[in-house]
Structure 1
Amino acid sequence: MLAVAATVATSPVPALAQDSNSEARLRKIEAEIRALQRNVFPSSDGRYFEPQISNDGTAQPATTGTSSTTAVTDILARLDAMELQMQRLTSVTEENANAVSQIQSRLALLEASPGAGAGLAGTIEPDQPSVTDSNLSAMAGEGTSETTQQSATTPAATGPSAERLAAVQEITKPQTDDAADDEYSYGFRLWNAGFFPEARQQLSSFVESYPSHWRATFGRNLLGRAFLDDGMPEEAARWFLRNYQSDRTAARASDSLLFLAESMIAMEDTRRACIALAEFGETYPAIASGRLMNRYEANRRKVTCEG
């Protein structure tokens, strides 16, 4: 009887020790996941939560309420919560990996082409120094360069014919409550009628007078087209580049980038044309497969790009 009593008294000890170890390990894993989760998902104000792991590697006890569930169901519920947290962390990791992959692909494209880093921000003329955003105004002209002003005022310098003056005067200028939009619309009407020099003069005045108007991106893009359609791709490229770099999310930034490639094609600069086309397809995939798809594909057929 004494032997049986001793056996009964001592037999639960290993099981209790094992349960205690399992519980400690489970709490440590949960604390580590919470610390990792707070590092990946910061609070709404951008500050990170303090990790729940002490300097000695032990987990700080989590505050829990009184549970009416059994030990087994409690462990299962906690394991389910851990699996959900791991899924969220895995999802974020995959998204970050995809973003890094896209950045690496773009860098590889730039490194594969010598001088490509200045390809879009570089000068149009090869004998001029490379241009960055700080001196973009010198390359893009900002509507004040000598070449641009001379080109925009060519009709006045040479003296348009009486027939041309009469035809231009037939194009009426809108009169609405938005004076800036009227200026742009008048330039558009001149361009649409084929009066490119007059359109350039009007649009140059518009972008200089209303640089912050919502139509400004339309004006810079259309000014580039007024040069391009008139057989002046070099001046056109400056305006297209300026409009694209001013705000790449603007309504006509994508158009300017594609027309920049078209200008490079007209200048027989295949390398920069390919850079612009690749940038357009990567930055504006929805537009490349939608609104500007036909023009994009037509320009791609005109050049042979590596890769």
Structure 2
Amino acid sequence: MRILTIRAIAAPLALVAIAGAAMPAAAQDTDTAARLRKVEAEIRALQRKVFPGADGKFFEPQITQQQTAPTTTTNTASPTAVTDILARLDALESQLAQITAQTEVNTNAINLINARLDALDKGKAADANAPTDAAKPDNGEAVDSNLQAMTGGSDAKPAPAPAKPDKAPEAASNTGPSAQRLAAVQAITKPKTDDAGDDEYSYGFRLWDAKFYPEAEQQLTMFVDKYPDHWRISYARNLLGRAYLDDGKPQQAAAWFLKNYQADKQGARAPDSLLYLADAMIVEKDTKRACIALAEFSETYPAIASGRLRDQYEGDLKKVKCN
């Protein structure tokens, strides 16, 4: 009887001891989960500080108040603390991967934009450097012989250009250009770089671009004479021809266009010169020689005829009727 009484008292005490041992473990899991939620909240806040303006695609709403662990427990099954931590680490790694991928996409986009801007700058510089050479043929026979040279005849070079430019349209008298024109020309600055030849050419281009054609003719002629081996020479001869053509002197222009083509058919502006030669002949109403130039252009530069200069080439074909 006494033994039964002792066992009846000991059984409840054992249950209490087991429950007491389990409670610290449950409390430890609750503390770990709460600490992990706090760390995650701080990481999200840091992400928003580093990447301002982020949206829900990459970050969850910022946690402004720490949520407390539930005060009641249930008997339903729940993940262990380790499983919960691993799941959350996977989520963090996924977010970091998304941020890294977006950074790479943005970097590539910026690189492409920079490359396109560089290409545009180079294209503008190339257009600005359209070649021109100033030389004036003695008469129409010189132009004829140059055109024959293009198709295998004798080679006739342009005569030297006059030392001084023609009288400016705005000139008030026969004594020279007006003070207003001189001031306008002086306002155009000459570049100063390590390449003196390129500076001279660029100055001639600026004069031509400002429609000071006689001054451009003189400047570009000086460049051609002084820098015959410069890398800008094909540009300069071509631009000189364009200056004469824009100045209403198609014969002088034709001589320089043909010279530029014959001097170096692989020159940077040799195709342009051959096409502008056709333009000069069209202005002269010389359909035969215009057609010869157009045929030579399409045969020598088929890729350019269907590419960079296609519009100009097709426009010239519409102006003349070639057999």
Shorter-chain-normalised TM-score: which range?
0.5 to 0.7
Counterpart position of 1:177:
194
In the TM superposition, what is the alpha-carbon distance from 1:286 to its structure 2 partner? 1.1
In the TM superposition, what is the alpha-carbon distance from 1:291 to its structure 2 partner? 1.0
Partners of 2:165 and 2:292 in 1: CA distance: 29
Partners of 2:181 and 2:253 in 1: CA distance: 24
Give the alignment's Cα RMSD to 1 decimal: 2.6
Counterpart position of 1:245:
262
Q: For the structure 1 residues 158 and 222, does the alpha-carbon distance in structure 2 shift closer, same or farther, using more than 3 Å as the test?
A: farther
In the TM superposition, what is the alpha-carbon distance from 1:162 to its structure 2 partner? 0.6
In the TM superposition, what is the alpha-carbon distance from 1:290 to its structure 2 partner? 1.1
Q: For the structure 1 residues 232 and 304, does the alpha-carbon distance in structure 2 shift closer, same or farther, using more than 3 Å as the test?
A: same
Structure-2-length-normalised TM-score: 0.51
Contiguous gaps of at least 5 residues in structure 2: 1-137
Partners of 2:207 and 2:143 in 1: CA distance: 33
Counterpart residue identity of residue 279, structure 2: E
Counterpart position of 2:310:
293
Q: For the structure 1 residues 233 and 175, does the alpha-carbon distance in structure 2 shift closer, same or farther, using more than 3 Å as the test?
A: same
Counterpart residue identity of residue 207, structure 1: V
The within-5 A match list for 1:52-201 is: 125-126=140-141, 130=145, 132=149, 136=155, 138-141=156-159, 144=160, 148-149=161-162, 152-155=165-168, 158-201=175-218
Is 1:275 aligned to residue 264 of structure 2? no
Q: For the structure 1 residues 301 and 183, does the alpha-carbon distance in structure 2 shift closer, same or farther, using more than 3 Å as the test?
A: same
Is 1:228 aligned to residue 245 of structure 2? yes
Q: Point out 4+ residue stretches in structure 1 off by more than 3 angstroms.
A: 126-136, 150-158
In the TM superposition, what is the alpha-carbon distance from 1:272 to its structure 2 partner? 0.4
In the TM superposition, what is the alpha-carbon distance from 1:135 to its structure 2 partner? 6.6
Q: For the structure 1 residues 303 and 165, does the alpha-carbon distance in structure 2 shift closer, same or farther, using more than 3 Å as the test?
A: same
In the TM superposition, what is the alpha-carbon distance from 1:299 to its structure 2 partner? 0.7
The within-5 A match list for 1:33-52 is: none
Counterpart residue identity of residue 256, structure 1: S
For 2:285, what is the secondary structure of its paired residue? coil
Partners of 2:153 and 2:226 in 1: CA distance: 22
State the number of aligned residues: 179
Structure-1-length-normalised TM-score: 0.54
Counterpart residue identity of residue 280, structure 1: F
Partners of 2:221 and 2:236 in 1: CA distance: 8
CA offset digits 1:149-204 (Å, max 9, x no partner) = 16735459750001101111111000000000000000000000100000000000
For 1:279, what is the secondary structure of its paired residue? helix
Partners of 1:170 and 1:235 in 2: CA distance: 28
Q: Choose the corresponding residue for 1:256, options 256, 273, 291.
A: 273
In the TM superposition, what is the alpha-carbon distance from 1:289 to its structure 2 partner? 1.0
Report if aligned partners of 1:221, 1:240 keep a CA contact under 8 Å in 2: yes
Report if aligned partners of 2:278, 2:293 keep a CA contact under 8 Å in 1: yes
Report if aligned partners of 1:153, 1:201 keep a CA contact under 8 Å in 2: no
Q: For the structure 1 residues 129 and 302, does the alpha-carbon distance in structure 2 shift closer, same or farther, using more than 3 Å as the test?
A: closer
Counterpart residue identity of residue 140, structure 1: P
In the TM superposition, what is the alpha-carbon distance from 1:139 to its structure 2 partner? 3.8
For 2:190, what is the secondary structure of its paired residue? coil
Partners of 1:283 and 1:129 in 2: CA distance: 21
For 1:171, what is the secondary structure of its paired residue? coil
Larger relative contact order (Cα-Cα within 8 Å, sequence gap ≥ 6): 2
For 2:214, what is the secondary structure of its paired residue? helix
For 2:162, what is the secondary structure of its paired residue? helix
Q: For the structure 1 residues 166 and 288, does the alpha-carbon distance in structure 2 shift closer, same or farther, using more than 3 Å as the test?
A: same
CA offset digits 1:79-123 (Å, max 9, x no partner) = xxxxxxxxxxxxxxxxxxxxxxxxxxxxxxxxxxxxxxxxxxxx9
Report if aligned partners of 2:142, 2:158 keep a CA contact under 8 Å in 1: no
Counterpart residue identity of residue 225, structure 1: R
